[in-house]
Structure 1
Amino acid sequence: MKVRFSLALIAGLIFSPVTLAANSTGSIEDKLTEQLVDKLNVDVVSMEKAPIEGLYQAVTKQGMLYISEDGSKLIHGNIYALDNNMENLSDTAFNAAMAAPRLEMLKPFEKDMLVYKAKNEKYVVTVFTDVDCGYCRKLHNEMQGYNDLGITIRYLAYPRRGVPSANADEMQAVWCAKDPLKAMTEAKSGGNVKAASCDVDISKQFYLGQQFGISGTPAIVLENGSVIPGYQPPERLLKTLQRAL
C-alpha cells in the first residue's frame, strides 16, 4: 500500500512530536485519536492495538499510521508477518477497516461512473482505471467476457501520472465525450479523444482512489468494499467474487 502524504503532514511528523496530555481523559484509543487529529489533521477511521506490543494502529483516510502507547512516537510503514508468508498486516488491517467507509465514499461518485452493465447482472465491481496502462486495456478488451459472466464493470478515473497532467486531461475528455463508453474504448485502443469540458471532476476521482489506498491500476473495488489490486481475467474475477461475497 503506497500512501501519499502532503508536505505539511510530513513536516508535522518531524516537527510536532505526538505526546499525550497529562490531564487528558478517556480511553487510550480516544486520546491517541485526538492527538493525531489535532496535530496532523488526519481523518482517523479506527484506532486499535497493533500486532506489535506497545503500538497502536491508526487507520486513516490518508493511510496507516502506528503510534506508541504513550503517544510519543509515530511510525509510517508496513508490518509483515514473517511466520505467515510475509503477509502485509498493514494492508490487511487497512483494507478491512476501510471497507464500509469506502462504500459510503463511493456513493456520491455513482452518477459519474462509466458503467458497462451485464445483461444478467450478478455482481457489480468498481474499477479505478487509466487509459494508458496495459492491463487496464487488457481488462477493457475483455469486457464482454466479464459481462457474459454477470459482472457489471463501473469505471472511475485514476490517471497514473497524477493531476494535473496530460494523462488526466485525456481522461477528462473521455468522461466529457458525447458517448463516454465509446470514447473509453477509443482511448484504450490508442486513439485520440477530442478535448471536451463538463461538470465531471477527474481530480476528485483520483483523490478518492488515493484515499482508498490505491497506487496503481487497475484496482477493483468489490461490493463489500474490499480492494483487489491489479488485473484479473473474467473467470478468475468471478471466482474471487464467489469467495468474497
Structure 2
Amino acid sequence: MKKSYLWQWLAPLLAIPLIASCDGTPVHNIDSAAKSASGSTTASVSAANNVTDAGRPADAEISKKINANLASKMSKMLKGSELNIQGVYTTPLQGIYEVVITGNQIIYTDENAAYVMIGNLIDLEHRKNLTEQRVSDMSKIDFKELPLEKAIKEVRGNGQRVIAVFSDPDCPFCKKLEEEIAQIDNITVYTFLMPVPDLHPNAQKKAVQIWCQKERTTAWTQWMRKGKEPAAVANCDNPVADIIKLGNKYGFDGTPTLVFPNGKTISGLMLKNELEQELNKNQK
C-alpha cells in the first residue's frame, strides 16, 4: 500500500539510489554486502561495540527531544505534512539513535536531530544487517490473528505449506507473483485483496467484483494468471475496505506483501525457487 514516504523527500537531496517494487516498496532480501557495494548509505559497527544495545527504548528525555526537533525540522521539508514517529531506540553507535517512522521505516539521527542518516547499520564482526533485522522483528505478525475468512483460499497439492498474500488485482508485480505461485505444489494460499487506489484507480472496484463471484478463487487466478476479466456481478458484502485498513494497521507499504505462519513478512516479488525456500523455512 502506497504511503507518503520520507525517502521521496530526502532522496533527491541525498542522491540515494532506491530499488523499488511496483508500489514503491524497497525490494526485500537484498544481501547486505551487495547493498554496501552498490553505494547505498551504510554505517558499520566495530567489533568493540555491543550489538545488544540496538533496539532498546531511548531515554525518555532524549526521546522527547528527538521527537520534537525532528518533527519540527522535517515538517518544513515535508511542506507541512506531519512526520509520524512511532518510537526512538538506541543503537550500538554512541550518540546515534534509531527512529521508527510510518510503515516501520528506520532512519538514524543524533540526540539533537541535527542530522539524519538513511541506510543500513551493519555489524561487521557478526556480518549482520542490524537495520534489516530490526525491520524484520518489527514486522512480525501473529498469523493466527489474520482473518482468514476474509481471504481467497487456494489449495494446491496437499496444501501443507501455508502463506498469506496481500495483493492488488492491478499490480503487475502481484500478477508476476501469481505466475510463480502457480508453479508451486503442496501449498495453501490465503489472498487478502488490498487494492491501492492511488496507483490503480480501478483496483478496488475490481477487487470487489472478484470477491463477489460465485467461484472467487477461480475468478482471482484466471484474472491474475491469464488476464481473463471476471464477469460483471452485483456487488455483495465484501471485506475489501476492512483489508485495506488491516494493511494500514500492519504498516504494509506495498503489494505484494507475503506473511508466513511464523510471523515473518516479506514485501515484493519473489521468484519460485526463493519462495520455495522461504515456505520451507518459515512455517513454524
Fold shared per TM-score above 0.5: yes
Shift of 1:159: 2.3
Shift of 1:41: 9.4
Q: List alignment gaps of at least 5 residues for structure 2.
A: 10-56, 72-81
Give 1:197's match in structure 2, choosing from 225, 235, 241. Answer: 235
Cα deviation digits, residues 66-94 of structure 1 (max 9, x gap): 5757465685844354969x986434312
Cα deviation digits, residues 84-106 of structure 1 (max 9, x gap): 9x98643431221221xx226x7
- Matched residue of 1:120: which SS? coil
The equivalent residue for 1:226 is 264
Q: Give distance in 1, aligned partners of 2:128 and 2:247.
A: 23
Q: Give distance in 2, aligned partners of 1:234 and 1:70.
A: 44
The equivalent residue for 1:159 is 195
Shift of 1:163: 8.1
When residues 30 and 98 of structure 1 are mapped into structure 2, their CA distance, relative to the original with a 3 A threshold, is farther
- Matched residue of 1:225: which SS? coil
Shift of 1:181: 0.7
Q: How does 1:134-213 map to 2 (within 5 A)?
A: 134-146=172-184, 148=185, 150-162=186-198, 165-188=201-224, 189-193=226-230, 194=232, 196-213=234-251
Shift of 1:226: 1.7
2:159·2:188 contact (CA, 8 Å) conserved in 1? yes
- Indicate the percent of aligned positions where both proteins have the same amino acid: 21
When residues 113 and 48 of structure 1 are mapped into structure 2, their CA distance, relative to the original with a 3 A threshold, is same
User: Is residue 139 of structure 2 the alignment partner of residue 103 of structure 1?
Assistant: no
Q: How does 1:66-85 map to 2 (within 5 A)?
A: 66=107, 70=111, 75=116, 77-81=118-122
Q: Give distance in 2, aligned partners of 1:233 and 1:212.
A: 24
Q: CA RMSD in A?
A: 4.1
The equivalent residue for 2:89 is 48
The amino acid of 1:155's aligned partner reads T
Q: Give distance in 1, aligned partners of 2:88 and 2:148.
A: 29
The equivalent residue for 1:125 is 163
1:135·1:218 contact (CA, 8 Å) conserved in 2? yes
Shift of 1:61: 5.9
Cα deviation digits, residues 119-156 of structure 1 (max 9, x gap): 4233211112222333433433454532x2x2211111
Q: Give distance in 2, aligned partners of 1:33 and 1:153.
A: 41
User: Is residue 105 of structure 2 the alignment partner of residue 64 of structure 1?
Assistant: yes
Q: Give distance in 1, aligned partners of 2:181 and 2:252.
A: 22
The amino acid of 2:136's aligned partner reads N
1:55·1:66 contact (CA, 8 Å) conserved in 2? no
User: Is residue 4 of structure 2 the alignment partner of residue 4 of structure 1?
Assistant: yes
Alignment length (residue pairs): 218
Q: List alignment gaps of at least 5 residues for structure 1.
A: 11-26
Moved more, 174-183 or 54-63: 54-63
Q: Give distance in 1, aligned partners of 2:128 and 2:245.
A: 27
When residues 155 and 33 of structure 1 are mapped into structure 2, their CA distance, relative to the original with a 3 A threshold, is farther
2:100·2:106 contact (CA, 8 Å) conserved in 1? yes
Q: Normalising to structure 2: TM-score of the pair?
A: 0.58
Q: Give distance in 1, aligned partners of 2:114 and 2:214.
A: 53
1:3·1:63 contact (CA, 8 Å) conserved in 2? no
1:218·1:230 contact (CA, 8 Å) conserved in 2? yes
Greater RCO structure (CA 8 Å; 6+ sep):
2
2:163·2:189 contact (CA, 8 Å) conserved in 1? yes
